[in-house]
Structure 1
Amino acid sequence: MSNQKLLFDEDNQKVVFDLPDAEIELSNNFFSNEESDELFRSLIDSIKWQQDQIQFYGKTFNVPRLSALYGDKNKPYSYSGITMYPHEWTPDLLLIKQRIEEVAKVEFSTCLLNYYRDGMDSNDWHQDNEKELGHNPVIASMSFGETRPFQLKHLHKPDLKKIDIPLSHGSFLLMQGKTQHFWKHKIPKTKKKIKPRINLTFRIIKN
């Protein structure tokens, strides 16, 4: 039996996940297919993608995805030993930002983008809990392209089953409250031949 309960809004487009120690909701078709197709193509071409590297046991490895940081000036962001400095907002990002801020009811300062080129590109278990994000970070996640599973597991309750949320083309996931204190999340690898995916996570940098 699953440990999660799904609560739908009236038009069945938004899903609120009834999970302990978390505030998570998913809006499918947040952008229409036509809008999503156009934004996906534009983001691939216009974003200044970079290949980051990490140190692990004295060896250097490529991060298994491309990434980029955009946002307000003087708002660098650090995670996993990587410090990124933001490029200026693009028209595409400002359009997406305005749309999601109407729902999240906050103003975001920064957007971290990840480009998953194929199924072997991934993002391992982690929390978005860096100190510059504040005490209870609000993370607004937009997805374009291939559907990938977004997995969640509770840090202190092993009896809770792992949660799998499919993030589809044009979907919007909002995490807030205590979520980052108690839940880790990941995008797992797959050997299946799948198309690329772009994920945008909007954040509020406090520094």
Structure 2
Amino acid sequence: HGSKASASIEQCAFRTVNNKLALDKDFLSLDRGGNLTIRSTSVQKIIENYRPVLYIVVSEKSNVILQQVNITSCEIFESSSGVIHLQYYTGGTVTLDQCQFRYNIAVTYMYEGYKPFAGALLIQLCESSLSSSYISGSEQQQLDSTRMLILNNCSFDNNIGDCGGAVTVSGTRTLLQEERLRFIRCFFENNRAGSTIYFGYMPFGNDIYFYINGIASNK
């Protein structure tokens, strides 16, 4: 919790003893401003009610690294985000390197397709009056030059979300234009937006879904 918080997790495996019972809180949560490193770690068969498995809030002083992290067969009932939720404020860096997301499910009841999130990863671009770069009285803020999100050599296989199958990026048009978001040599296969099961007319993206101020686009 807080800008001076720092945590490191390496060569660990997380799973529940009874994979039929759902948790009611975040499995792992990092508050705004903290640093987090997770390497060579697996998270398997975690079931949550409503909340993501990994909830990470990123701001100016954050440095988040997930390297060789495997998220497999996790599920969220009545979800409001993906299995991993990155709530991204005005600065900081996030790197996902050689991570695998397989067979994760995050859907609403009956796959309505009206909530903008995907099964594996929700990247939520946010503004905040609490940010040090917020310009008082202007309702604007200057994004920190360190703000960058990189997904390198990551694979997304057989994930199901509501409007998006694998990855959803949400926010405003301005934030999306100023965000340095890079997908490098990533692999997508057999991901599916749950809305296509019953509500094929809803906007969706099986692999990457952009939800920007009510203007939807997909890939």
Which interval holds the TM-score relative to the shorter structure?
Answer: under 0.3
Q: Which protein has the bigger strand share?
A: 2
| Structure with the larger RCO, 1 or 2 (CA within 8 Å, 6+ apart) | 1
TM-score (norm 2): 0.25
Q: Which protein has the bigger helix share?
A: 1
TM-score (norm 1): 0.26
